[in-house]
Structure 1
Amino acid sequence: MHSPEQTYEELEDDRASREREIRLIENTIAKSSNEQEQNMLRRSLVLLAYAHLEGFVKFSLAAYAGAVNSLQLQCKDASTPLVALTLSRAFSALRDANSKHPEFSRLSEDKELHLLARERSFIENFERIISTQVEIPDHVVDTKSNLSSLVLKRNLYQLGLKYPIVAKHGSTIDRLLGMRNAIAHGDKLKTPKPHDISEYLSASFAVMKFVQDEIFAALRDKAYQRDASLPLTLPLPPTGLVTKAIEFIKSVRI
């Protein structure tokens, strides 16, 4: 695994190259005296700014996921968000109402009995389950080709990262997405004004810088650990494991 500083530098290089491309178009607009040409370039700049924002977010979050996966943490040593991502299949099996205990196939409609059987299996295998190696699936980082403020927040939340930037710049990011979609889908009447462009770029640059800094801080402060002040090899007390299992089962009972 790269050090937090090395990861930061990789993200910095990527972000800087994206910003240079955006600034190039912006400067070209400033030098043009032809209004039609300026409008055309502004439309292009919207597409480019959005593409780089989405691209950088995906690149950065995937880099963080890869860094965490490379640590080969066990779930008992990892933070709650990462455990939830890793054990999604186990949780799905626990909630699967179609899963029936083979000894009671004749009581296929007895939901309580089969739920109890699934809960029992979960408890019996709990020690093995929490020893599972953390593995953030590739599909977790997904902007859905429409990076709205809510999608950005969703991606950060799933990885256990902070997202105050969404409240600050969310409305502008949503406006940028709307303008990008209109232009990309052939709306010739959609031409952003200079002040719109300024707000779009300011918000895009701020979001990219925040994501970069947040990933660096998470790696530096070991936010991926259950408790960053404890060594990775320290297990949870057995009573704590049972309590957590019971609490989870209560939350999924149907």
Structure 2
Amino acid sequence: MKLNKLEELLEEDLGWRKKELSDLILIAKQTGEEVVLKSIILLLYAHWEGYIKRSSKLYLNYISDSKKFLNELTENFRAVILKGIINQCIASKEALTLQNELIVLSKLSNADKIKFKIKTGYNNESNELDVENDFDNTIINTHSNLNPKVFKNILSVIGLQYKTQIESREKYIDSHLLANRNSIGHGSRLKKQISEDFALEINDIEKLRDVIFSIIDNFSDELVEYCKEEYFLISNQHKLTSYIELKELELSNTFKYIDEKYS
């Protein structure tokens, strides 16, 4: 996969998600129906989980297509490959034999000499990349509950850092997106005034949308920049600190703008 193709797929996937939410918010403003407001929360969560999952898979496939050796890449990629080797051996019919254990040891000891090669998000029938494939959870697994903790784990898998600005919003995301989505999804009724700082009203829902998509936008930009500057290489780690500080500042400024906008 070429970089321009990765950018195209990331932008296209994000674009239709934003449009769907904007369309539904417009309907909510016109009708004021509670069921539409609840639908926005469900759709917002779906696009939060869907985009993080699919874009992470696209990123891993981009690294895979770059044909780098494991000893060139940061430690997270070694972990991905080693997990795959172990899982393959566990699934083997010879799982309980000494021969299989020797195979595992041989593969592990020679891991640095192999290239990072995976296929995640592929269609098993066509063997082609399919960004609509949600059934492969072997590497990127949201557990159908993409809370900040799970998001942090996914970032660790793909080699990105979890920002302090996101950490500062964990409680907000957990209580207003995850908890409300779970309640609606399980058929529970929501009180109009859910908490002191969140009500089932368009203003609070729009703020929640803006917070979530500011994190998504930041994440998407970061994936592209990691590929452009090859921050996934060990040799380029010394250049990464200033970039991370920049993205932290961008997210901080965005959060401040959102807070002021909806205050």
So what's the TM-score if we normalise by structure 2?
A: 0.68
Cα pair 1:156 1:163 within 8 Å, conserved: yes
Q: What amino acid is aligned across from residue 211 of structure 2 in structure 1?
A: A
Q: Which residue of 2 aligns with 1:144?
A: 143
| Structure possessing the higher radius of gyration over alpha carbons | 1
What's 1:75 paired with?
70
Mapped pair 1:134 → 2:116: yes
**1:51/1:89 Cα in 2 relative to 1: closer, same or farther (>3 Å)?**
closer
Asked if the contact 1:73/1:134 (under 8 Å) is kept, the reply is yes
Change in Cα spacing, 1:137 to 1:43, as seen in structure 2 (3 Å) is same
CA distance in 1, matches of 2:210, 2:188: 24
* 2-structure distance, mates of 1:48, 1:40: 12
Structure 1 distance, partners of 2:108, 2:208, is 48
* CA shift digits 1:6-28 (9 cap, x unpaired): 32232112112111110111111
Matched to 1:207, the amino acid is I
Equivalent residue for 2:207? 199
Aligned 8 A contact 1:29 1:42 in 2: yes
Find the counterpart in structure 2 of residue 209 from structure 1. 217
Partner amino acid, structure 2, of 1:155: I
User: Structure 1: which 4+ aligned runs deviate by more than 6 Å?
Assistant: 98-102, 124-127
- Supply the distance in 2 between the matched residues of 1:152 and 1:186 (Cα, whole angstroms): 25
Taking the aligned partners of 1:41 and 1:126, their CA distance within structure 2 comes to 52
Deviations 1:88-113 (A, max 9, x none): 356788xxxx98979xxxxxxxxxxx
> Is 1:49 aligned with 2:50?
no
What's the CA shift for 1:185?
A: 0.5
User: Could you say what secondary structure the match of 1:224 adopts?
Assistant: coil
Asked if 1 retains the 8 angstrom alpha-carbon contact of 2:81 and 2:116, the reply is: yes
Q: Deviations over 1:112-154 (max 9, x none)?
A: xxxxx98xx95x8776321122135641111111010111111
Measured against aligned partners, the alpha-carbon deviations of 1:10-59 in whole angstroms (never above 9, x if no partner) come to: 21121121111101111112122xx5x2x111001111111111111111
Whether 2:234 is the aligned partner of 1:226: answer yes
Match of 1:176 in 2: 177
Counterpart selection for 1:85 from 80, 98, 104:
80
Residues of 2 paired with 1:10 and 1:90: CA distance?
Answer: 29
CA distance in 2 between counterparts of 1:18 and 1:200 reads: 15
Q: TM-score, normalised by structure 1?
A: 0.70
Q: Which amino acid aligns with 2:223?
A: I
Q: 1:193: Cα distance to partner? A: 3.1
Distance in 1 between the 2:30 and 2:56 partners?
A: 36
Contact 1:58 1:143 in 2 (8 A): yes
Q: What residue in structure 2 maps to residue 7 of structure 1? A: 6
Q: How many percent of aligned residue pairs carry the same amino acid?
A: 24
Gaps of 5+ in 1: 103-116, 230-254
- The higher-RCO structure (CA 8 Å, 6+ apart) is 1
Which residue type is aligned with residue 48 of structure 2? L
Note if contact 2:42-2:181 (Cα within 8 Å) is conserved in structure 1: yes
For 2:113, give the aligned amino acid: S
How far, CA to CA, are the matches of 1:126 and 1:62 in structure 2?
24
